[in-house]
Structure 1
Amino acid sequence: MERFGDWILTLAAAGVMIWWVWRRFNRWLHEPPGAKLRRLAVAGGVDRDETVELIENYGYQVLSGKHRIPLGVAIDDGPTQATRLYFDYLAAKDDKYYLVKLDRARQPLEWTASGLRERLLVYALLFPDCEGILVVDSRDGLVKTVRFKVEDDE
């Protein structure tokens, strides 16, 4: 960098990078709650079937369906292994969002506090802006809402 123009280009590039990082941080900081869910709602399409009709009969609007969330798992300092987490639909009712999981015959849901915690808590933690998780039993025509609440240990 012997010439004066090199310094100007370097400072301009550094300025653009700082501006870009600041802008991304500011956008992230002021992002409204539920923005991630709204992006999911417009990302996926909905195939009309009897499950969607059942959910809509309970007063929910099905926004999108069949979502896959990629995750990475590393043990100690080992390589990261890829896995994924699935949920079936995203629904809304009264401007509140709900994740939808289907209760399938091959993996029945255990309707105890510990069974629900083991199977559904991860969704509540990944999407804290959701009002709850709808569990749809197509065989019996039922839609149940599961909510988690952290309680004081008193």
Structure 2
Amino acid sequence: MDSVGDWLIMLIAAGVMGWWIVRRVDRWLHEPPDARLRRLAVAGGVEEDEHVSLLKEQGFHVLSGKHRIPLGVSVDDGPVMPTRLYFDYLAEKENKYYLVKLERPRQPMEWTASGLRERLLVYALLFPDCHGIVLVLPQERQIKTVRFKVEAGEK
């Protein structure tokens, strides 16, 4: 009798696990493209400061602030070295999401195509649902929006 009961418990457990996996995959397949950004928007709080005020003046609604994305880097199958990627705010304007970076005096932005690519392309690749990356220049009280477009290669 014990073996019949054990098999029954195993079959029920396998059925529940299978049902759970199917539900998770189905939810993942049907979630909207910007669901990851929506989760980020809920995750962080926003402190009112001059940067947030400047963004509001330009028509942005700041959803959350100070995000840290943990990454791991491995060289030649060596140990994984932890690192982080930061962005300052997640904002919305006209139902489009934007990542916001503040320009820091000790790390000025190089306003060339290659300089922007080196500093900001990683954000565009990590969050393809974002409409662009907004750079806040606090000293000039300016906001600039950067977008990347993949062009057709030369033949």
Task: Please indicate, yes or no, whether the TM-score normalized by the shorter chain is above 0.5.
Answer: yes
Shorter-chain TM-score: which interval?
Answer: over 0.9
What's 1:53 paired with? 53
| Match status 1:138 vs 2:138 | yes
- Deviation of the 1:86 alpha carbon: 0.2
Identity of paired residues, percent? 69
TM norm structure 1: 0.97
Q: 3-state DSSP class of the match of 1:149?
A: coil
Per the alignment, residue 31 of structure 1 pairs with 31
CA distance in 2: counterparts of 1:6 and 1:81, whole angstroms: 44
Compute the displacement of 1:74 (Å).
Answer: 1.3
Gapped regions of structure 2 (runs ≥ 5): none
Equivalences for 1:94-113 in 2 at 5 Å?
94-113=94-113
2-side partners of 1:95 and 1:118: how far apart?
28
What is the alpha-carbon distance in structure 2 between the residues aligned to residue 2 and residue 63 of structure 1? 56
DSSP-derived class of the 1:3 partner: helix
- Residue 73 of structure 2: aligned partner: 73
- Aligned residue number for residue 92 of structure 1: 92
> What is aligned with 2:118?
118
Deviation at 1:2, TM superposition (A): 6.0
Q: 2-side partners of 1:3 and 1:52: how far apart?
A: 65
Q: Which of structure 1's runs of 4+ aligned residues deviate more than 3 A?
A: none
AA paired with 1:145? Answer: T
**Offset at residue 118 of structure 1 (A):** 0.3
Deviations 1:25-59 (A, max 9, x none): 11111110110111111111111011110111111
Q: Taking structure 2 as the reference length, what is the TM-score of the superposition?
A: 0.96
Hey, what does 2:18 align to over in structure 1? 18
How many Å separate the matches in 2 of 1:89 and 1:2?
Answer: 58
Question: Any gaps of 5 or more consecutive residues in structure 1?
Answer: none
The match for 2:63 is 63
Return the letter of the residue paired with 2:60. Answer: Y
Q: Shift of residue 79 of structure 1?
A: 1.4
